[in-house]
Amino acid sequence: MARYKHYDYNQTKMIPLRFADQIQPGTFEYTLNHVVDTDLDLSVFESRYRNDVNGAPAYDPAILLKVVLFAYSRGITSSRKIAQACRENVIFMALSADSQPHHSTIAEFISRMDEVIAPLFTHVLMVCDGLNLIGREMFAIDGCKLPSNAAKEWSGTRAELNRKQAKIDRAVSRMLTAHQQGDRQDQPPEILAREQAQIEKLETR
């Protein structure tokens, strides 16, 4: 009779994990992490938070930007799924420093600050695209077609660069819209009904 190596699903194994080591150079997530930390002016968010004296500390916008855009690169546009990934996926854990933002926090961030977020996402994607870090399998979101391989497409003229940025602007807008629509569909029916009633009340005035 054949013999097989013993295995046990009930065993426990402690694996040390250094989050910084999970974000490898030459990857989209590495450049995303670096650009958000060193190349973006995030002071625009300061006026959006009023908790300097009272209130609980907010999640750093840098963390939320990283996990949301990385989620988009994997075709995820649901705040609940992004929050789940931050609990279960090592790369999401690394990008968020295992801070595990709640899905409602992510949803509110996208809903309230989309106009601020959009140009920041465009900047990050322009950098990543210029480094050929955006592959065909990335950003597989309905209606979202990111231009790829900027080094080959751009011959150096300002007009061509502007056209590429315009394409990415439109793609970012579609991703944010898909995210907001997905979050609305995830809301309990009673909340959707209450919001619809409020809209109808305003329209009849």
Query: pLDDT for 90-111, tens place per residue?
Result: 999 999 999 999 999 999 999 9
What does the domain layout of the chain look like in residue ranges? 19-40+59-203
Q: What is the pTM of this model?
A: 0.80
Query: pLDDT for 50-92, tens place per residue?
Result: 777 777 788 999 999 999 999 999 999 999 999 999 999 999 9
Query: pLDDT for 9-47, tens place per residue?
Result: 998 888 888 999 999 998 999 999 999 999 999 998 888
Torsion of CA 106, 108, 109, 111, to 10 degrees: 120
